[in-house]
């Protein structure tokens, strides 16, 4: 393995000079020497040992994105956002997969990141446990949460979930729907809970009485969706609108409907939350409250870098990326 010393010997300069040239410390070397050094480096097939450099600099120019399993069909968009921001920022971006919640696994990951002097961490759809947060804070590695947050102390770059629930519900109300289900959300803080609040706020605003029985709890999954519409269909003939907790959930609804010859949007108007590509692939296409996942990713990287440079403090308030409604074909004005 070729080292800086080998080059120094061959170029008849000191290792320090080689180091300066190779790490491009401008104004600290003479162009002629530089040229010579670079030529020899190339000739010898020199590869810098970044490990050694990092050891002395006490930092590793890597940002690690810790991301929860690929289940969620929006993580690809967040990744795209991150990647789009990755050019020329002076850091390499690497990813590690984990489960959304799994204290031991998270701990292991954090320990390897800490011991490798990672520069910064982006948690995407990962809920970090209290102990692990303590661990991370002690190590003084800057980090940011994207999409979901572990508690109310930390900021997150995500969507305003209450707003999402509110907008979705209001959209259906404005189409004339009065009995509206909310399908597949969970009751835990923070996403599910907030969406429920938004849903209730919208009903309230239009003088419609919210009724707990129209909320079908679940886990945002395809199956939650199928089960929800089954529940609605078998129990409430007057229910005509459904807010689906996620695109997968909405797809479950759509397919149950298809399989049971229930017409969408004639019998039920469905509005989904997320607005991933799935919405264009289903038939009918799904009307959605669309989150800007790409933006979350790019913003996450930008904020993290600011944090690493000490230009911003963690205690900052959460950043909400605007959502929008994309009208497609799964919703219709109520005619009955």
Partner DNA sequence: CTGAAAGCGCTAACAA
Partner DNA sequence: TTGTTAGCGCTTTCAG
Residue 320 binds a copy of itself, judged by CB under 8 A: no
- Output the smallest distance, CB 249 to a copy of itself, in A: 12
Q: Tell me the C-alpha distance between 325 and 332, whole Å.
A: 14
Binding range to a copy of itself, per CB under 8 A, among 109-117, 153-161, 206-214, 314-322: 109-117
The binder of 279, among DNA, a copy of itself, none, by C-beta within 5 to 8 A per type, is: none
Q: Tell me the C-alpha distance between 54 and 32, whole Å.
A: 28
Site for a copy of itself in 36-95 (CB under 8 A): 45, 47-52, 54-55, 58, 60, 64, 69-71, 75-76, 79-80, 83, 92-95
Among 23, 84, 211, 314, binds DNA (CB under 7 A): 23
Alpha-carbon separation of residue 257 from 178, 219, 285, 332 (angstroms): 20, 19, 14, 16
Nearer to a copy of itself (CB atom), residue 283 or residue 333: 283
Residue 242 binds DNA, judged by CB under 7 A: no
The binder of 33, among DNA, a copy of itself, none, by C-beta within 5 to 8 A per type, is: DNA
User: How many C-beta atoms surround the C-beta of residue 77 within 10 A?
Assistant: 21
Q: Tell me the C-alpha distance between 4 and 19, whole Å.
A: 7
User: How many C-beta atoms surround the C-beta of residue 320 within 10 A?
Assistant: 16
- Computed from CA positions of residues 186, 191, 197, 202, in that sequence, does the dihedral angle turn out positive or negative? negative
- Output the smallest distance, CB 152 to a copy of itself, in A: 27
Site for DNA in 57-86 (CB under 7 A): 57-58
- Output the smallest distance, CB 207 to a copy of itself, in A: 38
**Contacts (Cβ under 8 Å, ≥6 apart) of 57:** none
Residue 23 binds a copy of itself, judged by CB under 8 A: no
Phi, psi of 95 (to 5 degrees): -120, 145
Going by the DSSP 8-state scheme, the letter that residue 283 receives in this structure is: S
Q: Tell me the C-alpha distance between 263 and 54, whole Å.
A: 62
**Contacts (Cβ under 8 Å, ≥6 apart) of 46:** 2, 3, 4, 6, 7, 22
- Enumerate the H helices of 175-292 as residue ranges: 191-205, 222-235, 247-259, 278-281
Nearer to a copy of itself (CB atom), residue 58 or residue 317: 58
- Computed from CA positions of residues 175, 178, 183, 186, in that sequence, does the dihedral angle turn out positive or negative? positive
Binding range to DNA, per CB under 7 A, among 19-27, 160-168, 259-267, 315-323: 19-27
Residue 19 binds DNA, judged by CB under 7 A: yes
Q: Tell me if 268 sits within 8 A of 240, measured CB to CB.
A: yes
The number of CA neighbours under 13 Å toward the Cβ of 164 is 31
Site for a copy of itself in 234-253 (CB under 8 A): 251
The binder of 100, among DNA, a copy of itself, none, by C-beta within 5 to 8 A per type, is: none
CA 107: distance to chain centroid?
20
Among 96, 137, 206, 333, binds a copy of itself (CB under 8 A): 96
Q: Residues binding a copy of itself: what is the number (CB under 8 A)?
A: 42
Residue 97 binds a copy of itself, judged by CB under 8 A: yes
Which residues of this chain interact with a copy of itself, rule CB under 8 A? 1, 45, 47-52, 54-55, 58, 60, 64, 69-71, 75-76, 79-80, 83, 92-97, 111-112, 114-117, 138-139, 222, 251, 255, 258-259, 281, 283
Which residues of this chain interact with DNA, rule CB under 7 A? 1, 3-5, 12-17, 19-20, 22-23, 25, 27-34, 46, 48-49, 52-53, 55-58
């Amino acid at each position: 393995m070729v080292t800086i010393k080998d080059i120094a010997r061959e170029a008849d300069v000191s290792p320090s000079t080689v180091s300066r040239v190779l790490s491009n410390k401008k104004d600290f070397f003479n162009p002629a020497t530089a040229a010579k050094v670079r030529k020899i480096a190339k000739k010898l097939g020199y590869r810098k040992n970044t490990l050694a450099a990092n050891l002395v600099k006490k930092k590793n120019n890597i940002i690690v994105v810790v991301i929860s399993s690929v289940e969620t069909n929006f993580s690809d968009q967040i990744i795209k956002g991150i990647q789009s921001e990755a050019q020329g920022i002076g850091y390499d971006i690497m990813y590690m997969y984990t489960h959304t919640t799994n204290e031991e696994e998270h701990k292991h990951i954090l320990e390897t990141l800490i011991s490798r002097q990672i520069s910064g961490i982006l948690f995407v759809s990962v809920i970090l446990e209290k102990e692990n947060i303590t661990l991370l804070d002690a190590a003084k590695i800057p980090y940011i949460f994207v999409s979901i947050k572990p508690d109310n102390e930390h900021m997150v770059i995500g969507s305003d979930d209450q707003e999402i629930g509110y907008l979705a519900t209001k959209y259906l109300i404005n189409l004339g729907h009065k009995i509206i289900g909310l399908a597949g959300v969970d009751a835990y803080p923070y996403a599910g809970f907030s969406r429920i609040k938004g849903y209730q706020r919208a009903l309230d605003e239009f003088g419609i009485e919210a009724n707990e029985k129209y909320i079908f709890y679940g886990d945002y999954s395809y199956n939650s969706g199928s089960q929800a519409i089954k529940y609605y269909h078998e129990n409430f003939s007057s229910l005509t609108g459904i807010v689906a907790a996620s695109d997968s959930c909405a797809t479950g609804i759509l397919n149950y409907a298809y399989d049971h010859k229930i017409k969408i949007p004639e019998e039920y108007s469905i509005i989904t939350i997320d607005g991933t590509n799935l919405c264009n692939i289903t038939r009918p296409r799904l009307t959605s409250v669309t989150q800007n996942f790409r933006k979350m990713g790019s913003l996450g990287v930008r904020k993290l870098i600011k944090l690493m440079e000490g230009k911003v403090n963690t205690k900052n308030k959460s950043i909400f990326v605007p959502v929008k409604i994309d009208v497609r074909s799964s919703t219709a004005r109520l005619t009955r």
